[in-house]
Amino acid sequence: MVIFAYNKEESMKISIIQMKVEWHDMEKNLIRADELINSLPGADLYLLPEMFSSGFSMDPQDIADSHGKVLEWMKRMSKQHEAALCGTVAVEENGNYYNRMYFVKPDGQVTVYDKRHLFTFAGEDKCYKAGEKRVVVEWKGVRILLQTCYDLRFPVFSRSQGDYDMAVYLASWPSARHDVWVTLLKARAIENQCYVAGVNRVGDDPNCHYLGGSAVIDPYGRYIARSADETESATMAIIDMQRLQKFRMKFPVLEDRDK
């Protein structure tokens, strides 16, 4: 039996930050992320693209947040806005590099998720070590599954076990496969009866062009909010937990899932 637990909060405001990421330029990227976050105050959760401080690079030795500067910036912004912040950065730990997602709360608490499915097509598996744990974090009464880019293609790993209400996908997803991005975000929302927030970057790096397509999708597979393609933006969406609970109780699809 699938058991869903709900807290008192009935809604949460999410800001999806679709930004142009400067190649290997942490200072510029933090300044730009700061500007975009400040342009839309009042969210409970700010979501940033994959490797927002550097670009999706296969040179982790050049971009790793070895001194914790990006994490400290995230903590500062989280406290300043009294909101959670989520984004991924390259980090080095015990001689290995990880594509690491940080979920930072205003009290300084940090939840870590290391990208499980590395993008072998680009050689990510040669440069980074894969994570091993599936991570769910709770914030403002919403249980959130943390996922990174290529994880989107693997539904078994992200299959709901009745333990989350929203899945977050932070990505550097190239424009050449944009239709796949849109289709799979909707599929993950529908098949898991959950909200999905997908945040992608815009602009160019030495290898790819990115047009964005950031969006928040409801459990029916419909857009709640969507960022304009090819454009930097901060876009707000409100997810309704009461609506989600009613839908799951009325149409309990997950009761029949494969174990």
Asked if the model's pLDDT at residue 7 lies above 50, the reply is no
pLDDT digits (tens, 9 = 90+) for 192-222: 999 999 999 999 999 999 999 999 999 999 9
Determine how many CB atoms are found less than 10 A away from the CB of residue 120. 10
Residue 2 in this model has a pLDDT that exceeds 50: no
Q: Which residues of 205-216 are buried (b: 16+ CB within 10 A; e: fewer)?
A: beebebbbbbbb
Cα separations in angstroms, 173 against 23, 84, 85, 119, 142: 15, 23, 20, 11, 26
**Domains observed in the chain:** 11-256 (3.60.110.10)
Q: Which of 50, 75, 105, 140 is catalytic?
A: 50
Q: Summarize the confidence of residues 215-232 as an average pLDDT.
A: 98
CB 14 within 8 A of CB 238: yes
Told to judge if 50 belongs to the known catalytic residues of this protein, a careful annotator would answer yes
Question: Could you confirm whether 86 is annotated as catalytic?
Answer: no
For the segment 133-153, the average pLDDT, to the nearest whole number, is 98
Those residues with Cβ within 8 angstroms of residue 76's Cβ, 6 or more apart along the chain or in another chain: none
Mean pLDDT of the chain: 95
Reply yes or no on whether 191 is catalytic: no
Which one is catalytic: 20, 105, 140, 149?
149
Taking only the tens place, the pLDDT of each residue in 161-198 is 999 999 999 999 999 999 999 999 999 999 999 999 99
Closest residue by Cα to residue 144 from 67, 196, 72: 196
Confidence check: pLDDT of 8 > 50: no
* Active-site option among 20, 75, 115, 140: 115
32-82: per-residue pLDDT in tens? 999 999 999 999 999 999 999 999 999 999 999 989 999 999 999 999 999
The per-residue pLDDT for 9 is 60
